[in-house]
Amino acid sequence: MLRMKVAPSANRAERIATVNFDFASQQTEEIACCNLCGRNLFIVLAKRDRYQYPIKTVGCRRCGLVFLNPRMTAEAYGRFYQGTYRPLVSAFHGRLIDAQTIQSEQWDYAANCGDLLAPFIEDAGFITLLDIGGSTGVVAQSLASRFNFQATLIDPSPSETAQAKASEIEIISGLVEEIDLAQRRFDVITLCQTVDHLLDVSGTLSRVRELITEQGLFFVDIVDFQRAYRKGSSIEGAIKIDHPYYLTQATIEAFLQRSGFRIVKVDYASDNLHVGYVCRPDTRTSVLPTSLAVDNFFDEISQVKNTQHP
Ligand SMILES: [Zn+2]
């Protein structure tokens, strides 16, 4: 019985080893201030991720923001996304996952996203769409054809955007915080399955706020960290090197309000993991999760096992 229980995780460990990613040799940086509230008192929540890389995850004692710390630098993440990310995720799941194979689930995802946004888009007279971190362009293409948008896609990974090049979408390679878009504004901005991968959530959301038209619409979704660790009954199992941030409904809602967005609809995805937010531009408010909510959050975390289940 014991052998049967051990075998699957041993195979997984072997598959991950063949990816040949040497975490110890990557350049990392210590994060001194919480990206949400600016404080510097953190609780260590886990010391490994689901791939068993020795990465620390911390939670901010004041606001409950969870993030990797120290974490790889922007350059190290750039190299990671070029050569390691897809092979690593494939090794973890034991099947090939790449820009090609994700297309069909991306079309389903895009259709759901369109259904969620439709009531806010129909008759609004929106013309332009900006999809940030749009990868292979499926979401941008789907929304553009359904709502007749002129679509622009920004993504840092050329191997992903290569798939989108055949379409009529304008493709910009790079990071949204660094690209010069001059005076351009967009009616609809989407940040799909991307926010957890960012290195600066606050900075990116502020940039989105600058890029959106006054009556515009913004969609963002998170992997809800609470749903993730509850689902697997493990903190470590919910941590992965490719996600610098582990947002919860409390922390993303605070991020959005502090960046100048008003949430007009919340959507629980059927995967029991993602939570989507439809937002309008608004004035900034300096809210944070309450101390009681943060206490309860860390109390719950302390009761979840810190090891990964096979
Ligand atoms: Zn904080």
pLDDT in tens, 81-118: 888 998 999 999 999 888 778 788 889 999 999 999 99
Distance (Å) from CA 289 to ligand 1 centroid: 9
Dump strand ranges (E) for 242-303.
245-246, 261-268, 274-281
* Domain parsing of the chain, residue ranges: 2-93, 103-287
The answer to whether residues 237 and 309 touch, using CB atoms and an 8 Å cutoff, is yes
* Other beta carbons less than 10 A from residue 283's beta carbon: 8
Express each pLDDT in 149-203 by its tens digit: 999 999 887 777 777 776 789 999 888 888 888 899 999 999 999 999 999 999 9
The predicted structure's pLDDT at residue 309: 54
Distance (Å) from CA 250 to ligand 1 centroid: 12
Q: What is the pTM of this model?
A: 0.92
The predicted structure's pLDDT at residue 163: 72
The predicted structure's pLDDT at residue 160: 73
CATH no. of 103-287: 3.40.50.150
pLDDT at 2 over 70: no
Distance (Å) from CA 145 to ligand 1 centroid: 40
The predicted structure's pLDDT at residue 6: 41
The predicted structure's pLDDT at residue 98: 81
pLDDT at 307 over 70: no
Distance (Å) from CA 61 to ligand 1 centroid: 7
Express each pLDDT in 212-253 by its tens digit: 999 999 999 999 999 999 999 999 999 999 999 999 999 999
* Other beta carbons less than 10 A from residue 32's beta carbon: 9
Distance (Å) from CA 39 to ligand 1 centroid: 5
Express each pLDDT in 34-45 by its tens digit: 999 999 999 999
**In 3-state terms, the chain is what percent helix, strand and coil (to 5)?**
40, 20, 40
Tell me the two tokens of residue 277: 């937010």
Express each pLDDT in 5-28 by its tens digit: 444 555 999 999 999 999 999 999
Distance (Å) from CA 72 to ligand 1 centroid: 20
Tell me the two tokens of residue 168: 């009529």
User: Which one-letter amino acid corresponds to residue 56?
Assistant: K
pLDDT at 291 over 90: yes
Express each pLDDT in 47-61 by its tens digit: 999 999 999 999 999
Distance (Å) from CA 290 to ligand 1 centroid: 11
* Other beta carbons less than 10 A from residue 36's beta carbon: 24
Query: Measured between alpha carbons, how far is 212 from 189 in angstroms, rounded to an integer?
Result: 7
Distance (Å) from CA 125 to ligand 1 centroid: 38
